[in-house]
Chains A and B, each alone.
Chain A
Amino acid sequence: EAGVAQSPRYKIIEKRQSVAFWCNPISGHATLYWYQQILGQGPKLLIQFQNNGVVDDSQLPKDRFSAERLKGVDSTLKIQPAKLEDSAVYLCASSLGGRAFFGQGTRLTVV
């Protein structure tokens, strides 16, 4: 079974630049999550999609972060403009109810 695919694996950008991450969930998984884990802190759920609708985006900094899930399949997470404190691992997960399967994550460094 193919897993959750994320790209890129690593990204280094300067502050105030924009960046986008891509997630391809496991085929048929209706639920998709984006997590942010800043080094030294616990993971934070940024947004949860059910198909292409948003279930929970209460912790998404909407002034600079946006996410979409077109056609209820792939998802992109964008940061515009990036700040130093956005340096973190961004992890995507998908589930069909049940156990969540996680991607390898994208490590973002903002300099």
Chain B
Amino acid sequence: ILNVEQSPQSLHVQEGDSTNFTCSFPSSNFYALHWYRWETAKSPEALFVMTLNGDEKKKGRISATLNTKEGYSYLYIKGSQPEDSATYLCASEYTGGFKTIFGAGTRLFVKA
């Protein structure tokens, strides 16, 4: 059974702190890695999709990296703001059968 692990499960930081979370995934038959931000009472928002080993994507203060050989991705937030408080979901996509597996998410709380 394919399993995507995210850590930590939750994280409390102060405004202005930089932080990062991890998404670990099986690397066999890997095709793409997706990151989403899910704020309470809203639909999840797609942040990044990465496919190549070494890929780095950036959107404002948020960036992500991908290591397909060892099966992990990091999401970084620089200078966290209270509006960054959300659950960050990663999902790993595999070839053969259009299979996408979601992690359980990392819940980020940013205190002003």
Contacts and interface: CB of A to CB of B under 8 A. Distances in A.
Interface string A63-101: 000000000000000000000000001010101111110
Contacts of B97: 50
A93 B34 CA distance: 14
Nearest to A93: B44
A105 B9 CA distance: 23
Interface in A10-64: 30-31, 33, 37, 39, 42-45, 50, 55-56
Interface string B36-55: 10101101101001000000
Interface residues of B, number: 26
Main secondary structure of the interface of B (DSSP, over half): strand
Given A31-B98, A42-B105, A91 B43 contact: yes
B43 A103 contact: yes
Most buried by A among B40, B41, B43, B89: B43
Contacts, number: 61
Contact of B9 (A42, A45, A93, A98): A42
Given A42-B104, A43-B38, A97-B31, A50 B93 contact: no
Interface string B86-112: 010101010001111010110100000
A95 B105 contact: no
Nearest to B46: A99
A52 to B, nearest CB: 14
Contacts of A44: 104
Chain A, interface residues (CB within 8 Å), range: 20 to 34
A44 B103 CA distance: 9
Given A42-B87, A43-B89, A100 B100 contact: yes
Given A43-B87, A43-B89, A97 B100 contact: yes
A17 B25 CA distance: 39
Contacts of B40: 37, 39
